[in-house]
Amino acid sequence: MKLVEYSVKDRIGFITLNRPDKRNALSLELVEELNATFVLAEKDDNVKVIVLRANGEAFCAGADLRYLQKLQDFSREENQEDSRNLKELFYKIYMLSKVVIAQVQGHALAGGCGLATVCDFVYAAPEAKFGYTEVKIGFIPAIVMIFLIRKIGEQKAKHLLLSGELVGGESAIEFGLVNKIVQSEKLAEAVVDFANKLITNNSGQSMSLTKKMIGEVQSMKLEDALEYTAEMNAEARTSDDCKKGIRAFLNKEDLKW
């Protein structure tokens, strides 16, 4: 059985965690398969938007604890290499040229919460809980904190990272972890509906460039960021998508991307 399933329908690429017996816990093999599958989906010309979802009751329970136990016998260099695999996965999703929507039907904990955090949008069921529980087992939320602070700010991130508290429902929205709460039986439909709106109404090139800039400008000095965005602005004006969009607007034509 593959740990990650991949399918495409109506320009939506579905990447599905398939380790339900282990609550989709992150093992070396699962992380490697996810990395490879996101590369595949990014290159797939039939895919415009990606949905990350999971089989079973949990979205992702974080790191596989038995695997973490084995890592205690690894050398420092071996542990660094293993950590880099997870870092590469999170960075890949965060900077991917295509929009990624997390469909969270169950708990997303620790690294699993990080997996949802690096996605561009998060739709969740009311019963789904989110939390960074590493401090409760003497571990640290190292890699995930970089993306969490960017997403929700330092104060809220500190609360989640230092308390290990689980949040769900409206609280998850207030923290900035979730975009929308949808009843379980309607969750998949709501995600597909939203993906279809992005596919039909928005330029894929524009979404890609906008996502890229959001990821890059935050680490730049103000003047450097302004110069970079001015260059990107100029580049976008001459793109085929921009020409097509402006022409359709001026001619009052319906435009479907």
| Residues involved in catalysis | 134
Residue 1's CB is within 10 A of a number of other CB atoms, namely 7
Burial 11-46 (b: 16+ CB within 10 A, else e): bbbbbbbbbeebbbbbbeebbebbbebbeebbeeee
CA-nearest of 44, 38, 37, 52 to 11 is: 44
Q: How far apart are CA 69 and CA 79, in angstroms?
A: 12
Give the DSSP H/E element, type plus range, for residue 34: helix 28-43
Secondary structure of 214-239 as H, E, C letters: HHHHCCCCHHHHHHHHHHHHHHHHCC
Q: What DSSP string runs through 55-119?
A: SSS-SB-SB-HHHHHHHTTS-HHHHHHHHHHHHHHHHHHHH-SSEEEEEE-S-EETHHHHHHHTS
- Do residues 7 and 21 make contact, with C-beta atoms less than 8 angstroms apart? no
